[in-house]
Amino acid sequence: MASLDRVKVLVLGDSGVGKSSLVHLICQNQVFGNPSWTVGCSVDVRVQDYKEGTPEEKTFYIELWDIGGSVGSASSVKSTRAVFYNSVNGIILVHDLTNKKSSQNLYRWSMEALNKDSSPTGVIVSNGEYDREQFVENAVPLLLIGTKFDQIPENKRSEVLTRTAFLSEDFNAEEINLDCTNPRYFAAGTSNAVKLSRFFDKVIEKRYFTRDSSQMTGFTDRKRFSFKSLHYD
């Protein structure tokens, strides 16, 4: 097993959204009993059967890099985080469905990881004041995961899911909404499990079976993020 090829997937999002619990659920298929704040970075591994059930099936390691830290942290901490952003093959963006600000901050996290040499200081919100085409042409596959689905009141779920659908469209990424304390959300055969496996297969495909995969470290120089204004709601 030690000789398996591997890919590196970042898990990004605000502190407290449940990244560590999510990673533990994905890799161990178990609920994380007592999660704590991640300092720096924590790495866990999942075994993925690429194109499972086909003649092209092959087993890979998926390294999930759970990046700690706050979006508003000092520049020295941001600089330290940047060392984890090298040679990235995929990114999972995690937000708390009960916390709209954590959703807005995903634009900031994605810019920090993919444009680590030109990180802005504010948060860009989903109001069209950025070039959506840059996500469309981004070579690094993205997956959007909303946590704490169980904590959304029934009468608010439609509103929240409409908002996350727009977020998914902005990032040109599939979305998964779940409760990290309930393994059934990733049960075999569920739509969430299919989406997750499809995302990992896409990451592997881009890394090992696509020409010029060595360029998959972020946006090209020609396609750096550009936007009209940065602000909080």
* pLDDT 10s digits, 154-180: 999 999 999 999 999 999 999 999 999
- The confidence score (pLDDT) of residue 137 equals 62
Residue 130's region, left for phi above 0, alpha for psi from -120 to 50, else beta, is beta
User: How far is Cα 143 from Cα 173, in angstroms, rounded to an integer?
Assistant: 5
* pLDDT 10s digits, 93-130: 999 999 999 999 999 899 889 875 544 444 444 444 45
Asked if residues 61 and 43 have their Cβ atoms less than 8 Å apart, the reply is no
β-pair type (58-67, 41-50): antiparallel
Domain boundaries, the chain: 6-209
> pTM, whole model, 2 decimals?
0.83
Band (222; pLDDT cuts 50, 70, 90): very low
Domain at 6-209: CATH architecture: 3-Layer(aba) Sandwich (3.40)
- The confidence score (pLDDT) of residue 139 equals 85
